[in-house]
Amino acid sequence: MSLNLVDAKRNSNEINLLTREICGYMHWLRAEGIDFWKKTELRPAVSAPQTQTLEMVRAEMGDCQRCKLAPLRTNLVFGVGDSKAELMFVGEGPGADEDIKGEPFVGKAGQLLTKMIAAMGLSREQVYIANIIKCRPPMNRNPELDEIAACRPFLDQQITAIGPKVICALGKFSAQTLLNTQARISDLRGKFHDLNGVKVLPTFHPAYLLRNPGEKKRVWQDLQVIMAELNLTPKGHQ
Ligand code: SF4
């Protein structure tokens, strides 16, 4: 008998012996009333994070006092629109009109945004509109880093809850904050950028358009990029 055959026979004997021992151990377990094969429920080691709805995000904010803008506000401006919108608009922060009404983009710039949305063949109710921060900075100054750090998590939760296909970042501040970049709005606008799998297209803020109506043409070009992505038909062509 060759050496290999001797090794194979020895291995086979060891496997048989091991199998008999396992079978004997299982019989003993059964005799002791332990059902070895009892079906057990498989559970993930870590429970999956609960999907938050917009209502849950708003409830978590409550009467938010997380930054120094809280005592200055009339109303916290959370956001409005379709909670499952494919398209979301994100501006910088509430202005005076928004602070009073508790709704984003309701002043002159807001009226222009409403017209832009209508030109895309949509209504305000079919999109979702929010801001980077939810309380009005004094004198409409830019939000400060500590304010953004305190408020940004709620915008991220809103985005997760809504699950938009496209976010239109309105203005330099929104685009730079969302995309974590210092690039100029003129370099960022008109093309898609990635935010955790969501397509972000920056364009000029409606308030900037009110001061520079000559730029409306470029904004319309930007909106058409979004419309092509979402298969939207412009108003008047339906
Ligand atoms: S800006 Fe945001 S973080 Fe600051 S108080 Fe308002 S809701 Fe809270």
The pLDDT assigned to 44 comes to 36
pLDDT score recorded for residue 233: 85
pLDDT at 236: 61
Using one digit for the tens of pLDDT, what is the confidence trace for 31-58? Answer: 545 554 444 333 333 333 558 999 999 9
Q: What is the pTM of this model?
A: 0.79
State if residue 136 touches ligand 1 by the CB under 6 angstroms criterion. Answer: no
Report residue 74's pLDDT band, with 50, 70 and 90 as the boundaries: very high
Q: What stretch of H or E contains 80?
A: strand 80-81
Ligand 1 center–CA 129 separation, angstroms:
17
Q: How many CB atoms lie within 10 A of CB 2?
A: 7
109 lines ligand 1 (CB under 6 A): no
So what's the architecture of 54-230 in CATH?
3-Layer(aba) Sandwich (3.40)
Instruction: State which ligand 1 atom lies nearest to the alpha carbon of 147.
Output: 4
The pLDDT value given to residue 143: 94
According to the model, what pLDDT value does residue 43 have? 37
When mean pLDDT is compared across 38-42, 66-70, 136-140, 196-200, the lowest value belongs to: 38-42
Ligand 1 binding pocket mutation candidate from 90, 99, 141, 147 (most atoms within 8 A of CB): 147
Instruction: State whether the beta carbon of 135 lies less than 6 angstroms from ligand 1.
Output: yes
